[in-house]
Amino acid sequence: METLLLPAYLIVVLAVGVKVFDAVLKWIGTVDYVVPPRWRERRPHLYGVVAIVTVVVLESIVLVAFGGSAVSAAIALTVFVGPIEELSKLLPFWAVRGTQLVRWRVTISAAMTFAVIEAVLYGIVLIITGNILGALLRIIVVTFHVLWTTIALEDALKGRAFVGYLKSSLLHSLYDAPVIMVLVGVSATITVPLTLAGILAVIYMYRRVDGAFGYAYSIGRREIEERRRKTEREECLTSSP
């Protein structure tokens, strides 16, 4: 069973990755219609670079602390990579000044920058080692990073930031776990349930695209409507005798 599960998992990731790639890019374009353009002044791409540097430092510490064997390193990466990377990508939401929606958009842009840099770095390594299919897969799933961040931010916008962070971290870890565990030869007792959980996590991610982005969009529409009503009230006051 375990020999079939990993290929099945990769097929699911590929299929969902294509759909998520398309959906995420469309939603970003849609939400941009309701986000004040001043978010671009907050240097979002710089935060993406900061996130990459933070991740490299923290994950290096994890490998030094738990890298005594391939198995211990794999388990440590599975446990810590999700929480480390999701926290690093969320930093702009707390560091940037502005409305919730402006901070949301800066964070999403930073997550995209992070994802592209990571994909390029992994892609170079995979191409050098002759794994062209792996490099192509990295490109296809590049928007997974944006989606995890968006899922976390949906809860943050609802006042449940820690819940959102835990959710995105868990989804990220479950996505990483099957391939990491199989590559280092962890027993089927562990890899089989983790692969099944990974498949469920990836499917759940796809089902959350519209809800996660749609919530931010609804906030933007509401803010536009509130500004319109405020303008109308002010015009009524200035035009009244």
- Tell me the domain boundaries of the chain: 2-239
* Whole-angstrom distance, CA of residue 221 vs CA of residue 217: 6
Q: Which stretch of 151-160, 182-191, 194-203 has the lowest confidence by average pLDDT?
A: 182-191
Q: Given this model, what pLDDT does residue 90 score?
A: 98
Which pLDDT band, with edges at 50, 70 and 90, does 1 fall under? low
Using 50, 70 and 90 to split pLDDT, how confident is the model at 234?
Answer: low
Q: Is residue 78 scored above 60 in pLDDT?
A: yes
The answer, yes or no, to whether residue 217 has pLDDT greater than 60, is yes
CA angle 184, 21, 78 (to 5 degrees): 25
Least confident of 63-72, 188-197, 200-209: 63-72
Predicted local distance difference test score (pLDDT) of residue 134? 86
Position 239 scores a pLDDT of: 64
Provide the pLDDT confidence category of residue 60 given band limits of 50, 70 and 90: very high
Q: How many Å apart are CA 162 and CA 17, to the nearest integer?
A: 26
pLDDT at residue 230, as a whole number? 77
CA–CA gap between residue 222 and residue 215 (Å, rounded): 11
For residue 66, pLDDT beyond 60: yes
Report pLDDT for 143: 97
**Helix (H/G/I), strand (E/B), else coil: 34:** coil
Report the percentage of the chain scoring pLDDT > 90.
70
Residue 185, judged by CB atoms within 10 A of its CB (0-12, 13-18, 19+), counts as exposed
Contact 103, 93 (CB under 8 A): yes
Alpha helices, H only, 67-131: 70-95, 100-128
pTM, two decimals, is 0.92
Mean pLDDT of 146-163: 97
pLDDT at residue 189 in the model: 85
Sequence-separated (6 or more) residues with CB below 8 Å from residue 2 = 188, 191, 192, 195
Whether the per-residue pLDDT at 67 is higher than 90: the answer is no
Q: Which amino acid makes up residue 3?
A: T
Mean pLDDT of the chain: 91
- Output the pLDDT for position 68: 78
